[in-house]
């Protein structure tokens, strides 16, 4: 899990970081970016079978193991965030996109949160702080650490992974919903700050509960609406948002379940995006 290896950077390529890239939505976006030719750094909270599987699956793609840098890092620690950016630049020689995906959900509070809601006044303070530290402070520290490089090169893609509006205000979801509401407000504010810099900030969310570890394992695993989305829906919009093609879009909110990978990209964008866009 250490860097110190320099890959051949004589051929220009794009590089991305996906926090929480070992499992769930992060894994899908990581492998999609690898298939699109990106060099990718992923962060994970610790060693795991999921991390090993993602490393192996990435190694099987063109470019092999040299195109993935796996790092164990706590993105809620500013020193760790700075280290992730530095090791990415040292290993790959560049950075073009940052997907702030690492997050903590309601399982931090209770394994039965989806059947027995926990009221906000019963949540231990340390659990509340843990969710906000990862979901709000983590994206801030990672993005702040990346900004000097993005500003120097006059380009950067910041993609913050959010959740559905209904989830933000659902009974028993106070810390998780509130943290994602804060992330959405932050993203739109960042987009306004970034006008004219060549750097964009956008939101991407599945559009409902996804089949990931954020929900407890259950024979009847499903979201509040009775559906359970395939994490693969995140692949196509994530790759587009990281690409040069998305340079004119910032401050937008994209709902992955409405993005049709088979449609012309203009139609996919229109279907998946909300109206709020900050001009760049």
Q: For the residues 68-90, what does the mean pLDDT come to?
A: 98
pLDDT confidence of residue 22 = 96
In a domain, 232, yes or no: yes
Confidence at residue 2, expressed as pLDDT on a 0 to 100 scale:
40
Cα–Cα distance between 268 and 6 in angstroms, integer?
37
Asked whether residue 252 is domain-assigned, the answer is yes
Mean pLDDT of 82-100: 98
Domain-located, residue 7: no
Q: 190 and 249 in contact (C-beta within 8 Å)?
A: no
Give residue 98's Cα distance to chain centre: 8
Q: Is residue 85 part of a domain?
A: yes
215 is a domain residue: yes
With 70 as the cut, is the pLDDT of residue 219 above it?
A: no
The DSSP line for 135-188 is IIIHHHHHHHHHHHHHHHHT-EEEEEE---HHHHT-TT-HHHHHHHHHHHHHHH
Residue 278 lies in a domain: no
Residue whose entry in the numeric block shows the structure tokens 């290896």: 5
Residue 42 phi, psi dihedral angles, 5° rounding: -120, 145
Number of structural domains in the chain: 1
Structural domain includes residue 5: no
Does residue 43 register a pLDDT over 50? yes
Q: Is residue 280 part of a domain?
A: no
Give the mean pLDDT of 84-109.
Answer: 96
| Residue 217's pLDDT band (cuts 50, 70, 90) | low
Span 242-261, average pLDDT: 96
CA distance 260 to 272: 8
CATH of the domain at 110: 3.40.50.720
Query: Which of 187-191, 217-221, 227-231 tops mean pLDDT?
Result: 187-191
Range of the domain at 241: 15-272
Query: 97-100 and 68-72 as β-strands: parallel, antiparallel, unpaired?
Result: unpaired
CB atoms within 10 A of CB 262: 7
For residues 265 and 245, the answer to whether their CB atoms sit within 8 Å is: yes
Q: How far is CA 103 from the centre of its chain?
A: 8
């Amino acid at each position: 899990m250490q860097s110190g290896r320099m890959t051949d950077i004589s051929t220009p390529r794009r590089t991305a970081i996906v926090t929480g890239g070992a499992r769930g939505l992060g894994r899908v976006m990581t492998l999609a970016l690898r298939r699109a030719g990106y060099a990718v750094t992923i962060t994970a909270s610790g060693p795991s079978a999921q991390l090993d599987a993602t490393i192996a699956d990435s190694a099987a793609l063109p470019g092999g193991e040299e195109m993935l840098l796996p790092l164990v890092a706590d993105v809620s620690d500013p020193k760790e965030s700075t280290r992730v950016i530095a090791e990415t630049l040292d290993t790959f020689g560049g950075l073009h996109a940052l997907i702030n995906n690492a997050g903590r959900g309601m399982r931090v509070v209770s394994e039965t949160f989806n059947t027995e809601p926990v009221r906000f006044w019963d949540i231990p303070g340390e659990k509340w702080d843990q969710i906000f530290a990862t979901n709000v402070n983590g994206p801030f520290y990672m993005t702040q650490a990346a900004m000097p490089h993005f500003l120097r090169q006059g380009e950067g893609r910041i993609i913050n992974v959010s959740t559905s509006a209904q989830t933000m205000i659902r009974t028993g979801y106070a810390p998780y919903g509130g943290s994602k509401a804060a992330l959405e407000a932050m993203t739109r504010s960042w987009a306004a700050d970034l006008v004219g810099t060549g750097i964009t900030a956008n939101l991407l969310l599945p559009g409902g509960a996804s089949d990931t570890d954020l929900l407890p394992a259950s024979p009847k695993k499903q979201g509040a609406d009775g559906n359970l989305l395939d994490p693969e829906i995140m692949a196509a919009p994530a790759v587009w948002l990281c690409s040069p093609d998305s340079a004119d879009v910032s401050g937008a909110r994209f709902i992955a379940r409405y993005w049709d990978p088979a449609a012309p990209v203009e139609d996919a964008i229109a279907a998946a995006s909300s109206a709020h866009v900050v001009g760049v």
